[in-house]
A and B are shown apart, each in its own frame.
Chain A
């Protein structure tokens, strides 16, 4: 039976035969194209999953963090600020936070020292993140020696290690008691790193922040929404790595398209002439070119996306690790929760499959309008 479906599969057959003629060229094209899709899709998966993680976990972050600024620098904040802030209408609680960074010269790592709100640890004991345990090669009940700001050794016993499932937030943490923190850094009395403020009604957060800024012009309130937004701008397109990746992807695509658009050789022209002379319509020729474009670009898209998913969610985005790690000594070992963003994948689909197919069809279109007797006359 004659049917349009037969016509499609027949022409697809010939498109595949036609592509297989230049096997190595088209195969390498497919490989490079797949690689581009793979890198971009990996980035999409990775960033989406990280954003998802940040949005879910940091939703529990303090509503407001109030920092004190002195001469444009983040400085210690007096506890008296907290007392006045807690008097503002709508503020439920104010907790002074004690935290800071510690650089371990022996192991070359930056740790985050943090005092929890309610004494989780006794003086002399600490809870550490899995990254710290890896870095120091210590386990529970081992001793960790830190050097205080007065150059005296401070010996602390590891009371517990946070589970590896929490590494994305806890990897470099050393959670210690306020007494040990004071022993370490000798802060002036009544001074804290910053203040965590809880607001009763989430809709009043901005109002409260404004009031705090008015009350204490030398402070800076940071809203929870701003903390969350920080991870929305992760891999901003203007950012270094994104620009490099996108530029490479776009440039290679332009090279392909250029090759396609200008690469309609005399040979290909002649072939189109032959097809026309043996009874192919212009639309048949265009369909042939359409399939040639689809075979390469759709396969590249699908394979690239599947590989990217495996890369990001089964192999923890191993290829991005070096970029993220930078010069860090502690790098969290984390498994991201898979997130598939259909919208972004659709955009990627249209950005990869459509232009390539168009770049295949358009030059052929110009050649396919030759009169059918051209092949006979030449």
Chain B
């Protein structure tokens, strides 16, 4: 479970171009559910996800993660939530690596590198043995039926295949939470539907999923359990909350 309390993110504070991307947002994202942030571009969805994903720190407010365990913090030990707002950079990186899997709008795959290596990329600095995560990567490729492209450089892959590789990469470190930012923006309707099917697969595996999108195919999908509407950095409405 992710708990946000009065989270605000301001860019260029105290300058003439000061800009508040996320404004006093309080929200609870339930574990194991598919939550969709819906809103036009510039509504603060991406910034909010970056805050949740430990990529940036809020200007004010608190973000607490429940039910995670890392090398320095175990939920079972303390029985309480981990407040990520004030953690040093190093710990944030570790949480990001172990808890979150990211799917980006542009896929953000590294060109010239094989699909398999792209999938393994987030696991390299963890210090895990290569044999273990390579096996996992191959299984993920199997799951998303892109096994035959394992050795191909990513630029040889089609849009749909790139999407699958990107999802596989998000899953390599066995994250509990998947964050996807406008995942269908570059996909046609057929591929977008395919993507939602894959989201269904992930949900069935018990992942917490958070998607930011303004694509009706996503937020009107029957899989969507909670839809959070956003505009100008504020929440305009929540439907389907537990």
Contact = CB atoms under 8 A, between A and B. Distances in A.
A and B touch in the complex (CB under 8 A): yes
A277 B102 contact: yes
Nearest to A275: B121
B104 interface: yes
A10 B50 contact: no
B24 to A, nearest CB: 20
Contacts of A267: 111
Contact of A373 (B55, B100, B124): B55
Contacts of B49: 376
A280 interface: yes
Contacts, number: 99
Contact of A279 (B56, B108, B127, B173): B173
A371 B55 contact: yes
Contact of A7 (B53, B122, B124): B124
Interface string A1-42: 111111101110110011001100000000000000000000
A342 interface: no
Interface string B100-143: 10101010111111100100011111111110000000000000
B93 A10 contact: no
Interface of B: 46, 49-50, 53, 55-56, 89-90, 93, 96-97, 100, 102, 104, 106, 108-114, 117, 121-130, 169, 173, 181
Nearest to B133: A10
A110 to B, nearest CB: 61
Contact of B121 (A14, A21, A287, A377): A14
20 contacts: A3-B127, A3-B129, A4-B127, A7-B125, A11-B125, A14-B113, A14-B124, A21-B112, A267-B111, A277-B102, A278-B102, A278-B108, A278-B121, A279-B96, A279-B100, A279-B122, A281-B125, A373-B50, A376-B55, A378-B106
Contact of B117 (A14, A281, A378): A14
Interface in A319-378: 371-373, 375-378
Contact of A376 (B46, B113, B127): B46
A13 B55 contact: no
Given A274-B108, A277-B102, A279-B173, A371 B127 contact: no
Contacts of B181: 376
A277 B108 contact: yes
Name the residue among A4, A10, A278, A378 with the largest chain B CB count within 10 angstroms: A278
A6 B104 contact: no
Contacts of A281: 89-90, 93, 125
A2 B125 contact: no
A2 B55 contact: no
Nearest to A14: B124
B207 to A, nearest CB: 17
A271 interface: yes
B125 A21 contact: no
Query: Which 3 interchain pairs have the tightest Cβ spacing?
Result: A279-B97, A21-B112, A373-B55
Contacts of A375: 104, 108
A284 interface: yes
Contacts of A7: 124-127
Contact of B55 (A3, A10, A271, A277): A277
B110 A274 contact: yes
Interface string A240-260: 000000000000000000000
B96 A372 contact: yes
A321 to B, nearest CB: 44
Name the residue among A7, A21, A371, A376 with the largest chain B CB count within 10 angstroms: A376
Given A274-B108, A278-B102, A279-B93, A21 B128 contact: no
A280 to B, nearest CB: 5
Contacts of B96: 279, 372
Contacts of A11: 124-125
Given A6-B127, A373-B55, A376-B104, 19 more contacts: A2-B128, A9-B130, A10-B127, A10-B128, A11-B124, A11-B125, A13-B130, A14-B113, A14-B124, A17-B117, A274-B108, A279-B97, A279-B125, A280-B125, A281-B89, A281-B93, A372-B55, A373-B50, A376-B55
